[in-house]
Structure 1
């Protein structure tokens, strides 16, 4: 049997070794919001399909979307859209070479969180 040669080189770092940072967690959350937006897109499609099929199907989904649970889902979707939009804008700004220092990036993450919550509340109040 051939012997395997053990290397003394360090192994590649894993997520359990790294300390979570605000910028990395914010970037991960941008990806999570993209998945949430994709999943929540079923509701407007369901609403439109129900409107095209029957009055009882439309009444069901319309009642669901106008309930407190529907309001909560729509608020979460609105927050996810704004957060994802601001996250992609932040990455575009980084691609241009601006605000790439650690402190500036952390400040952008904080601003992104505050702005997305504020915009989601603004939309909820207006509509």
Structure 2
């Protein structure tokens, strides 16, 4: 292996380290990015439970009775509520990123606006879904 160049070693030692997250002031768009990643991971867990629920439905009444707690219990209903919110929030976060990929709303005010719209839109769509479900379901 070649010997290290002393000049490049001194330059590397003088280079600043990447700042830690504790140095940054938390911004709304930063928090929304973190929530977008969390909802993406939560959708994997929700999709697995949805697949389990549908598998129980396909296997017959005894299997369905075993997995019907997913929507019948209070915890199950809460999980389905959070899953539906995660789905809408993650969807609108993807739309927000697609808008940014087009080069739109990249200024500070535009980023804040899209982050607020995606948060409010996810909550509003979830509320509309549950209201429609209770009225028509």
TM over 0.5: yes
The reply on whether 1:79 has 2:85 as its aligned counterpart is yes
Which gives a bigger RCO, structure 1 or 2 (Cα 8 Å, sep 6+)? 1
**Selected match of 2:57 from 29, 51, 54:** 51
Question: Cα deviation per residue 1:78-116 (whole Å; 9 max; x = unaligned)?
Answer: 100000000010000001011001111112111111110
In 2: Cα distance, 1:45 partner to 1:9 partner: 50
Is 1:17 aligned to residue 23 of structure 2? yes
Length-normalised TM-score, structure 2: 0.82
Per the TM alignment, residue 49 of structure 1 is displaced from its structure 2 partner at its CA by: 1.5
Give the ranges of 4+ consecutive aligned residues of structure 1 lying more than 4 Å apart after TM superposition.
Answer: 3-6
Question: Which secondary structure does the structure 2 equivalent of 1:7 belong to?
Answer: helix
Q: Indicate which of 3, 10, 13 corresponds to 1:7.
A: 13
Q: Which runs of 5+ in 2 are unaligned?
A: 1-5
Q: What is the alpha-carbon root mean square deviation over aligned residues?
A: 1.9
More helix per residue: 1 or 2?
2
> What is the number of equivalent residue pairs in this alignment?
126
Give TM-score, length-normalised by structure 1: 0.88
